[in-house]
Amino acid sequence: MSPTRADFDQYMVPNYAPAAFVPVRGQGSRVWDQAGREYVDFAGGIAVNSLGHCHPAAVAALTEQANKLWHVSNVFTNEPALALAEKIVAATFAERVFFCNSGAEANEAALKLARRVGIDRFGPQKHKVLSAVNSFHGRTFFTVSVGGQPKYSDGFGPRPEGIAHFDYNDLASVEALIDDDTACVIVEPILGESGVLPATREFLQGLRALCDRHNALLIFDEVQTGMGRTGHLFAYEHFGVVPDILSSAKSLGGGFPIGAMLTTDVLARHLSAGTHGTTYGGNPLACAVAGAVFDVINDPATLAGIADKRARIVAGLEAINAELGVFDQIRGLGLLIGAALKPAYEGRAKDVLNAATAEGLMVLMAGPNVIRLAPSLVIADADIDEGLARFARALKAFKG
């Protein structure tokens, strides 16, 4: 007997509330469930399936590596990890890379590095971490405490100390908190989970200047915005602000779990042998897949295509909205798109998502008032058009 959705409620820890159907197969931007029903995928596994499902380059890299070498631990290094690190260094501000398995782990490494640098250079008092209210940096206890959402960090006992929260896009609120004991400021270039809200250029440039003034490190959490999502390899390029440390995950592996922390040579030296680690980090399978994904994304044709696909989706959403009037604003960058509901539909993003599912379309939420789209970066125009047609039907049904 095949497993069913009911098995989730019987066997799994109930920390998720998955959809009523169980996907079993994907190809490009289409997914099929156990009943053979087909969905257009505008969700992309939450900004993860950057090349859609079963992209031939990723499948080939995984298959080849699967027949070669799976795991050696960090007692040894390995060719796929070295090759991927070299590619990342060649294409970004970074001179050094640390591999791990998720966004939370990449941020955990970034925050530990920043505190270590501060303490090494200036003494134990320099450990303060500043982050934005409503930001999201992962679910380890340090990263969830840094993320400014008490609903995720409350109820687990005492939190790590030395963390304070500023208001996103409000430089004055950062100025009120930052001082010479601040080790780092961590920020998402676009608030992803909390509404697909882009930072202003002035805000990120202002953060850079404030960090420099107080010898604090600037960390960009690009777990969601990185690896082509905004039409640039990383969003820092769009804003013209270079961070000291950058975290990546999600799209980096295209669906194979991997995370990375990028930084400079002088900072990396503070994590000397034995100071940090993870068993699977830099795993050959993950790095082989990520290497293949990297080559496809970091291609001028792919990156240019993202702007075209965004334009096609946004034009479609605007046409739907001209008729139905559900959205206040279509925002975001590249293929991270937020559609904010009008006040009349406040709190009803989940109902829109359910209506989309009923029409055979996977979308995401970013809080209770915003529908979020994070499709494959190489989604075919035909899939965009079909997805938009289904979304139009879904919104009609939603309005009743």
Ligand X SMILES: *Cc1c(COP(=O)(O)O)cnc(C)c1O
Active-site residue flag, 342: no
Contacts with ligand X in 243-262 (CB under 6 A)? 249-250
139 labeled part of a ligand binding site: yes
Closest contact distance (angstroms) between CB of 34 and ligand X is 25
Closest contact distance (angstroms) between CB of 68 and ligand X is 26
The answer to whether residue 192 forms part of the interface with ligand X (CB under 6 A) is yes
- HSE at residue 40, side-chain half, CA atoms within 13 A, is 19
| Candidate segments 60-68, 82-90, 220-228, 237-245, binder of ligand X by CB under 6 A | 220-228
Cα separation of 37 and 139, whole Å? 33
Closest contact distance (angstroms) between CB of 251 and ligand X is 10
For residue 153, give Cα distances in angstroms to 119, 156, 197, 307. Answer: 25, 7, 22, 36
DSSP label at residue 4: -
224 labeled part of a ligand binding site: yes
Cα separation of 188 and 62, whole Å? 30
221 labeled part of a ligand binding site: yes
Exactly one of 126, 128, 250, 309 is catalytic; which is it? 250
Contacts of 147 (CB under 8 A, 6+ apart): 131, 135, 136, 137, 138, 153
Active-site residue flag, 221: yes
103 labeled part of a ligand binding site: yes
Closest contact distance (angstroms) between CB of 300 and ligand X is 26
The answer to whether residue 108 forms part of the interface with ligand X (CB under 6 A) is no
Closest contact distance (angstroms) between CB of 265 and ligand X is 25
| Cβ neighbours around 301 below 10 Å, total | 8
Closest contact distance (angstroms) between CB of 101 and ligand X is 8
329 labeled part of a ligand binding site: no
* Minimum CB distance to ligand X smaller for 50 or for 107: 107
Exactly one of 42, 98, 136, 234 is catalytic; which is it? 136
* Minimum CB distance to ligand X smaller for 143 or for 182: 143
Residue with nearest beta carbon to ligand X: 103
The answer to whether residue 224 forms part of the interface with ligand X (CB under 6 A) is yes
Which of 85, 145, 185, 221 contacts ligand X by CB under 6 A?
221
Tokens 């293949």 found at: 292
104 labeled part of a ligand binding site: yes
| Cβ neighbours around 139 below 10 Å, total | 14
Which of 42, 136, 166, 391 contacts ligand X by CB under 6 A?
136
| Candidate segments 103-111, 203-211, 265-273, 342-350, binder of ligand X by CB under 6 A | 103-111
Cα separation of 111 and 216, whole Å? 12
Contacts of 364 (CB under 8 A, 6+ apart): 42, 43, 46, 353, 371, 372, 373, 374
Closest contact distance (angstroms) between CB of 10 and ligand X is 25
Angle at 280 between CA 279 and CA 285, to 5 degrees: 155
The answer to whether residue 145 forms part of the interface with ligand X (CB under 6 A) is no
279 labeled part of a ligand binding site: yes
CA-derived radius of gyration, the chain:
21
The answer to whether residue 138 forms part of the interface with ligand X (CB under 6 A) is yes
* Minimum CB distance to ligand X smaller for 199 or for 394: 199
Contacts with ligand X in 254-313 (CB under 6 A)? none
Contacts of 17 (CB under 8 A, 6+ apart): none
Cβ–Cβ under 8 Å, residues 333 and 127: no
Cβ–Cβ under 8 Å, residues 183 and 117: yes
Which of 45, 103, 243, 360 contacts ligand X by CB under 6 A?
103
223 labeled part of a ligand binding site: yes
Active-site residue flag, 181: no
Question: Which runs of E-coded beta strand occur in the chain?
Answer: 23-27, 30-33, 38-41, 96-100, 128-132, 163-166, 182-187, 190-191, 197-198, 217-221, 245-248, 259-263, 327-333, 336-341, 361-362, 364-365, 370-373
| Active site positions, annotated | 136, 221, 250
- Residue ranges binding ligand X (CB under 6 A): 102-104, 107, 136-138, 188, 192-193, 221, 223-224, 249-250
Binding residues: 103-104, 136, 139, 221-224, 278-279
